[in-house]
Structure 1
Amino acid sequence: MRFLVQKFGGTSLVTQELRDLVVGRIFAAADEGFAPVVVVSAIGRAGEPYATDTLINFALSINRDLPAREMDMLMSCGEIISGVAMVNTLQRMGRQAVLLTGAQAGIITDGNHNDARIIRVDPKNIIKHAEQGKIVVVAGFQGTSETGEITTLGRGGSDTTASALGVALNAECIDIYTDVEGIMTADPRIVEDARILDTVTYNEICQLAHEGAKVIHPRAVEIAMQKNIPIRVRSTFTDAPGTLVTSHHEVYGTIDITRDRVASGVTHIAGVTQLKIHVKDLTVEDPALRIFRALALADISIDFINVSPELIMLTVKDEVAQKAVAVLENLGIYPMVRSNCAKVSTVGAGMTGVPGVMARIVQALTEEGVEILQSSDSHTTIWVLVEKVNMNKAIRALHRKFELGHSCKTQS
């Protein structure tokens, strides 16, 4: 069978009118000869009656110490509700359909409640129903542990469900339907001429997602990449082709001029605090080891790490900065603290081995009077830390410098 996995976000399922539109996408796939496997998220967003956050807030209004096991049982309900609505809509339109929970779909996870990892997928139940001519709807975001406990996959978990099923079924493609038309070169609320990318590589979208782009969860991309199964990020509401995520930039009829592009997008994470420690001023032994071990034991996630014999720099989220400083001060280490920063990332598979990329970044920011507080790089990404007040200016300057906008694309 030719499987196509279609994942629909909660904003695509809020009303019956929207669900009818979703059914049109499913029928179109079936008419093309695919056996659609439909993954659904919980309906709506916080405040709407069946949204996951609404269910959580209801439970916490009774007692804020709800155990993680019971929290998973509660959070799994939102996707089941939307799945029932989806199956009922399909049947109303004359198609046989069946809803499977994560457990019934064969998604086996570890026992880490609220943020479980998928261990394996046994798709035999999905295949059985598909062979009977039914459209299979799977509740996203959930699975079952080896001991039969309900587990959830963390934020963005329905994307992860879709990719795991795509790999297990050897699907021809995984379609992620959302409320945007694809992956953009920057946040359009910041950059007016940001445009939809036709294609990105797995590595590029992983970096974009890790560094602030929220269209798809990076874990989902990493899973699909294992079997080189293409992902398409598309809009439920328009017929736009969306963005194709694959191992290389595809060619569509004409020569793909994006093959030699240095950067694919500029993204950002706000709400960052920089901690700077001058090693020569310390009297403690093995300061780097003591610093990183203490922060790890305090369960504080750190980012943007630079270590040298003279200086240690790292960043934490603003909301845990006070805790991080207290941990370090308990060791007799008093960091310089700079809050209200932002991490701005320039991402592109084409920058690997290309000289002068950092020079262009420095030039772009210098021309706008934006001070670089810290920087780092990988094969596909260069990060800079700036003051949050300069974040939007930095994003626009880098987007313009690497000619990522509509007007630059047209001129190319």
Structure 2
Amino acid sequence: MAKKFIILKFGGTSLKTAELREKVAQKIINTFESGYQPVVVVSAIGRKGDPYATDTLLNFAYEVNRDLPPREADLLMACGEIISGVIMVNTLAKMGYKAKLFTGAQAGIITDDNFTSASILKVKADKILKAVDEGFIPVVCGFQGVTEDGEVTTLGRGGSDTTAAALGVALKAEFIDIYTDVEGIKTADPRIVEDAKTLEVVTYNEISQLAHEGAKVIHPRAVEIAMQKNIPLRIKSTLTDGEGTLVTSHAEVYGEVIEVIRDRIITGIAHIPGVTQIKILREDTPEIVNLAQKVFKGLALAEISVDFINISPEGLAFTVKGEVTEKAVDVLENMGFTPRIRRNCAKIAAVGAGMTGVPGVMAKIVEALTREQIEILQSTDSYTTIWVLVDGENMEKAVRAIHKAFKLNE
């Protein structure tokens, strides 16, 4: 009889203390005893400042020299998950269950050679399947991989989520469960909106968009991988036994009839603080032709990523991350432009598959922000998302206003 796999991924905050690790082990055991085959993915223990967290290990090396080569950085960063995995295997052993640890390489996570931000090329899960046949619960070090010629790599931010999704696809898992320190995906950041509601179910596209726009519950790359094979994701809390949030296909959330989606126009609101708005106006550069092409090509050559782009006959408006503002200004001025800068802005995204084809959504957002006397610096939209840019000091008020306008707490 074929095994029914469930991937269980636990983040660093879920593994920080012995008490938490025993809660994690019990969730793994409960999955095993319910007839499913768990495959566990672990992150490094704790967060920045904790003894075995990835940032702590890196800072130890940076004390010697900040210019740590990427290859060696990956070797060092891989240590955190190995420590975490050994402790989890030992915790399960103490509770009477056989477990076996696999590094990313041993788990068959094959990547390219883009050190510190590698992409998974394929998964060879033979060793995991063999361990399962021998009665072990596999525990896999998240965030890690290996090149075809044996070089250790790491997968960049959110890499353990990506590991879990890739294993879920490779093993044709029933579910990929992502355990965090929150109950599930909220309609907005609960630190800003006190009555933010936990969503029972969202689509892959919605959560991927929310994640891209600042929601930190899961990495968007993991969602995209799971979506390829339509494997449901569940976002759950390590601390409770709640159902959390189910992430699945559009049809399973809304049904096949398009009218069904109209009772949930907006699913959630995400935000990104600390961005800088840059404007290049035609009136400041009347003699320059192909304005947009030259601006964006120059910034690309300087490896500066731009976002929130509006192009009009009057000129350009876009945003960059706050920390690269000075570099962007230098590049633009050296090219002969006169950039107009507005620092400390915030990008707010209202996301919902239900807004497609529904009139008046933008009008409602504008009305909500106008009521609170919040100026919209830029706006744009797609089929499932509306973005607005506001001054950073208005970010929290804006999030609350939009949340209230669409009654997301009900």
Indicate the TM-score class for this superposition, using the shorter chain for normalisation: over 0.9
Instruction: Count matched residues.
Output: 403
1:384 partner amino acid: V
Structure 1 residue 266: Cα displacement: 1.0
Mapping of residues 133-282 of structure 1, within 5 Å? 133-248=135-250, 250=252, 260-282=263-285
1:105 aligns with 107
- Cα distance in 2 between the residues matched to 1:251 and 1:392: 29
- Cα distance in 2 between the residues matched to 1:260 and 1:202: 19
1:270 partner amino acid: P
2:257 aligns with none
Taking a change above 3 Å as real, the CA distance of residues 121 and 251 of structure 1, as seen in their structure-2 partners, is closer
What SS is found at the alignment partner of 1:240? coil
Structure 1 residue 109: Cα displacement: 0.5
* 8 Å Cα contact 1:121-1:168 kept in structure 2: yes
Structure 1 residue 243: Cα displacement: 0.4
1:379 aligns with 383
Per-residue CA shift, 1:42-91, capped at 9, x if unaligned? 00111111110100000000111110000000000000000000001111
Structure 1 residue 248: Cα displacement: 2.8
2:277 partner amino acid: Q
2:13 aligns with 11
* 8 Å Cα contact 2:279-2:340 kept in structure 1: yes
Per-residue CA shift, 1:374-402, capped at 9, x if unaligned? 00111110000001111111101100001
Structure 1 residue 260: Cα displacement: 2.6
Structure 1 residue 285: Cα displacement: 2.9
1:290 partner amino acid: K
1:399 equivalent among 373, 395, 403? 403
1:24 equivalent among 6, 23, 26? 26
Q: Which runs of 5+ in 1 are unaligned?
A: none
What SS is found at the alignment partner of 1:343? strand
1:358 partner amino acid: M
Q: Please state if 1:334 is matched with 2:330.
A: no
1:375 partner amino acid: S
- Cα distance in 1 between the residues matched to 2:394 and 2:96: 55
- Cα distance in 1 between the residues matched to 2:68 and 2:393: 38
What SS is found at the alignment partner of 2:44? coil
Structure 1 residue 96: Cα displacement: 1.1
Q: Please state if 1:322 is matched with 2:336.
A: no
- Cα distance in 2 between the residues matched to 1:351 and 1:321: 34
Answer with 239-248 or 77-86: which moved more: 239-248
* 8 Å Cα contact 1:249-1:259 kept in structure 2: no
Structure 1 residue 308: Cα displacement: 2.0
- Cα distance in 2 between the residues matched to 1:88 and 1:171: 25
* Runs of 4+ residues over 2 Å off in structure 1: 248-252, 257-260
What SS is found at the alignment partner of 2:348? strand
Structure 1 residue 259: Cα displacement: 6.4
- Cα distance in 1 between the residues matched to 2:224 and 2:272: 21
Q: TM-score, normalised by structure 2?
A: 0.96
* 8 Å Cα contact 1:249-1:258 kept in structure 2: no
* 8 Å Cα contact 1:200-1:249 kept in structure 2: no
CA RMSD of aligned residues (A): 1.4
Structure 1 residue 7: Cα displacement: 0.1
Identical aligned residues as a percent:
66
What SS is found at the alignment partner of 2:375? coil
2:227 partner amino acid: M
2:246 partner amino acid: L
1:94 aligns with 96
* 8 Å Cα contact 2:278-2:319 kept in structure 1: yes
1:295 aligns with 299
Structure 1 residue 310: Cα displacement: 2.2
Taking a change above 3 Å as real, the CA distance of residues 179 and 258 of structure 1, as seen in their structure-2 partners, is farther
Answer with 78-87 or 8-17: which moved more: 8-17
Q: Which runs of 5+ in 2 are unaligned?
A: 255-259
- Cα distance in 1 between the residues matched to 2:70 and 2:353: 39
- Cα distance in 1 between the residues matched to 2:390 and 2:21: 43
Q: Please state if 1:364 is matched with 2:368.
A: yes
* 8 Å Cα contact 2:262-2:355 kept in structure 1: no
Structure 1 residue 363: Cα displacement: 0.6
2:359 aligns with 355
2:57 equivalent among 55, 60, 69? 55
